[in-house]
Amino acid sequence: MKPLQFEGRWILVTGASSGLGKEMATQLASRYKANLILVARRKEALEQLKGQLQQAYGVQVELLPADLGEESEILRVADTVIQRGDLYGAILNAGITYFGPHVELSDLEFRRLIQVNLIGVSLLTSHLVKYFEPSGKEAGIMLVSSMAGFMPTPYQSVYSGTKAYLIQFANALQLELKNKALSLTVFEPGGIATEMTSGENFSALRSWLMPVDQVASIALRAFRARKYNAIPGFINQVGYVLSRIMPRKFMVGQLAKTYGKALEFQRKPGA
């Protein structure tokens, strides 16, 4: 399967207003000269990014402000991009997290995590695959999962579960496809220094986080090369191997200790 060619093609990026999504959109414009369809809740942030990318790199940028925690909005985004008829690729990056004891997770937060991370991504994927599959068109879809999808992560148990689902879903679906010009890539980063991890809850884990520009660059290379799975960073890759050969309970226990200490630290008075 030949690499994807982004120049002059339309690429959908969800969760594009900040963090990894914003950085991938910026690099798609600056390095690959791709045209972009940007999706996020924050319209003002999208408009600012659109102006920057169009002025700096001369690409075309269209906006689809949407809350992917609402099923009607998910379907609106899917219908809009499919009806265009010129979509070439999609990076489904939108996601939210929760870091803390599960017993403190509210029902509202729980439902939103499931809706955005699991239903939003898999429903968009399903609609896009149903569009690309019978057409025989060259195309690519990348789902942004997480190392937490490989390794159960205490204090992020629901988040970890949603990311594991994405890996299993996309890896299985790829092997059902009859359109050999269509690829499904799953990208599994570890911790990233983004807006999502900028809060006090992550302060004690800051040294573990990879720079967002580095992660975005690796992600786009993996997407272009149509990788089945892609893990950025040597430490993350070693962690993945260890997770396959070491006793599961031991590995998860080490994560529980590390994350538990981080929570204790941030809850100390004056921390």
pLDDT tens per residue across span 136-179: 999 999 999 999 999 889 999 999 999 999 999 999 999 999 99
Specify the pLDDT at position 207: 58
CATH pick for 10-267 out of 3.40.50.720, 3.40.309.10, 3.30.70.100, 1.25.40.80: 3.40.50.720
Integer angstrom CA distances of residue 60 from 21, 30, 38, 53, 56: 17, 12, 11, 8, 11
pLDDT tens per residue across span 65-108: 999 999 999 999 999 999 999 999 999 999 999 989 999 999 99
pLDDT tens per residue across span 192-231: 876 544 555 555 555 568 899 999 999 999 999 999 999 9
For range 113-120, the mean pLDDT: 96
Q: CA-to-CA distance for 224 and 139, rounded, in angstroms?
A: 10
Specify the pLDDT at position 213: 94
Specify the pLDDT at position 103: 94
Mean pLDDT (the chain) is 90
Query: How would residue 256 be classed by pLDDT, with cut points 50, 70 and 90?
Result: confident
Max alpha carbon distance in the chain (Å)?
59
pLDDT tens per residue across span 23-48: 999 999 999 999 999 999 999 999 99
Query: How would residue 270 be classed by pLDDT, with cut points 50, 70 and 90?
Result: very low
For range 262-269, the mean pLDDT: 59
Q: Which amino acid is at 268?
A: K
Integer angstrom CA distances of residue 103 from 110, 154, 155, 199: 11, 12, 10, 20
For residue 260, give the nearest of 163, 156, 158 by alpha carbon.
Answer: 156
Asked if residue 55 has pLDDT above 50, the reply is yes
Specify the pLDDT at position 259: 75
Specify the pLDDT at position 250: 77
Specify the pLDDT at position 205: 54
Compute how many other C-beta atoms are within 10 angstroms of the C-beta atom of residue 264. Answer: 11
Compute how many other C-beta atoms are within 10 angstroms of the C-beta atom of residue 100. Answer: 15
Query: How would residue 267 be classed by pLDDT, with cut points 50, 70 and 90?
Result: low
Asked if residue 117 has pLDDT above 70, the reply is yes
